[in-house]
Amino acid sequence: MSTAPSPAPAARAGSTPSPTRSVPAARTLADPDTPFAVVDAHRTRRNIARLRDRADRLKVALRPHVKTAKSPDAAALLHDGSPGPVTVSTLAEAEAFADAGHRDITYAVGIEPRKLPRAIALSRRGVTLRVLLDSTEQAAFVAAAARESGTVLPTLIEIDCDGHRGGLRPDAPGLTGIGRVLHEAGCLDGVLTHAGESYFRHTAEEQREAARNERDAAVAAAGRLRAAGLPVATVSVGSTPTAHAADDLTGVTELRAGNYVFFDLVMAGLGVCDLDDLALSVVVTVIGHRPEYGWIVTDGGWMAMSRDRGTAAQAQDQGYGLVADLSGALIPGLVMTAASQEHGTLTARDGAVLPDLPIGTRLRVLPNHACATAAQHHGYHVIDGSRGEVAAPAVESYWPRVSGW
């Protein structure tokens, strides 16, 4: 964990600069000016242990996606303090995690050919950086870049298991041709898929089914490549719902998931976690009352929470978030129902009485979507929830976030 300021990263030509890394001084959650993001490290550790145990039972390696926390400090909890395998969503993350000692990184967004020089630079630093693609065009670019640079660029072919964003269907005619182009350049590493549909599967059985479908798609694609005489080392699957639902991952070599480190209201709505597993919240302060409308107004708007309203599509719409007191205890019926840039509006539902919260009262709002809410902040004030519910939890450390591309 960061306990002292570290220098600002140097600007890189053609990219946006990253935030400075410094550690604001705060004794408790009563100290920093609001709004700010808080992580309960106790819940984070518990969430991490739960999925690690599952992966061990399923006899599959775990490659957590760090796109949610985007924090090398948080990632230190993933593999008992050592920099283990991770998945990233941007090259800025890959570079920051390489700086933090990680040497086994999968960049799980289809590669834009102009970004290959940054991938090669990481490779030259001793990082095994896997890239992803789903077209012959991209494969030709990767093969050419590997040959010209004399580096190995281990590459995964993206498989589409359920009709979300990128990938080839497992039975796509072009699959083996892409595999061959990569193999001839020494770059074929395997296949990767992501069950995007699992976020819309609302029962445990539907999520198990999504996990089986995800596994079947990846294993089938790997089988077709092997049948064509091509070596497949990695068969990678994962999403937070399917990682927690899978009952048999035969043929799969690694499991990815990211959101589970913090969880959020969308995941609780899907039944993947309980509300008391949510490790990320945003501390806000009451700045006004509108009794004529039944509103409490806070200084945390969408800039602090993000515009994400993932639960709007679920059975229980949680607005912009559920509201707890500063200790973390949920206040029954209190919901953040509206947001402008720097204002949040809290209202009571389900017949609850609007609580009496004077100007200056600090509250913690649990977000719809941890990935989106975390991205609105430069870092996290970290508390240890295992100490029980105290009025103003002590701040143990500050974890800066990686941002930009």
- Which parts of 321-350 interact with a copy of itself (CB under 8 A)? 338, 340-343, 345
CB of 147 to a copy of itself, least distance (A): 19
Give the residue from 143, 168, 167, 163 showing the smallest Cα distance to 155: 143
302 lies in the binding site for a copy of itself (CB under 8 A): yes
371 lies in the binding site for a copy of itself (CB under 8 A): yes
Using the rule CB under 8 A, which residue among 95, 197, 277, 308 binds a copy of itself? Answer: 308
Pairwise CA distance, residues 394 & 65, whole Å? 28
Q: Report the C-alpha dihedral over residues 161, 273, 30, 310, rounded to 10 degrees.
A: 40
CB of 218 to a copy of itself, least distance (A): 18
CB of 74 to a copy of itself, least distance (A): 16
* Cβ proximity to a copy of itself, 81 vs 358, nearer residue: 358
* Cβ proximity to a copy of itself, 193 vs 253, nearer residue: 193
Segment 143 to 182, residues that bind a copy of itself, using CB under 8 A:
160, 163-166, 169
Q: Report the C-alpha dihedral over residues 305, 309, 312, 318, rounded to 10 degrees.
A: -10
Using the rule CB under 8 A, which residue among 72, 154, 190, 379 binds a copy of itself? Answer: 379
Q: Return the ∠ at Cα 376 (arms to 330 and 122), rounded to 5°.
A: 125
130 lies in the binding site for a copy of itself (CB under 8 A): no
DSSP letter, residue 376: T
Instruction: Kindly report the number of other CB atoms within 10 A of residue 104's CB atom.
Output: 14
Cα four-point dihedral sign 94, 97, 101, 104: negative
242 lies in the binding site for a copy of itself (CB under 8 A): no
238 lies in the binding site for a copy of itself (CB under 8 A): no
User: How many residues sit close enough to a copy of itself to count as binding (CB under 8 A)?
Assistant: 87
Tell me which stretch binds a copy of itself (CB under 8 A): 53-61, 245-253, 347-355, 373-381.
373-381
- Which residues neighbour 61 within 8 Å (Cβ) at sequence distance 6 or greater? 55, 85, 253, 254, 255
Using the rule CB under 8 A, which residue among 1, 109, 144, 204 binds a copy of itself? Answer: 109
Segment 200 to 219, residues that bind a copy of itself, using CB under 8 A:
none
Instruction: Kindly report the number of other CB atoms within 10 A of residue 290's CB atom.
Output: 11
34 lies in the binding site for a copy of itself (CB under 8 A): yes
Segment 54 to 73, residues that bind a copy of itself, using CB under 8 A:
67
* Structure-block tokens of residue 338: 């509206």
Pairwise CA distance, residues 346 & 296, whole Å? 5
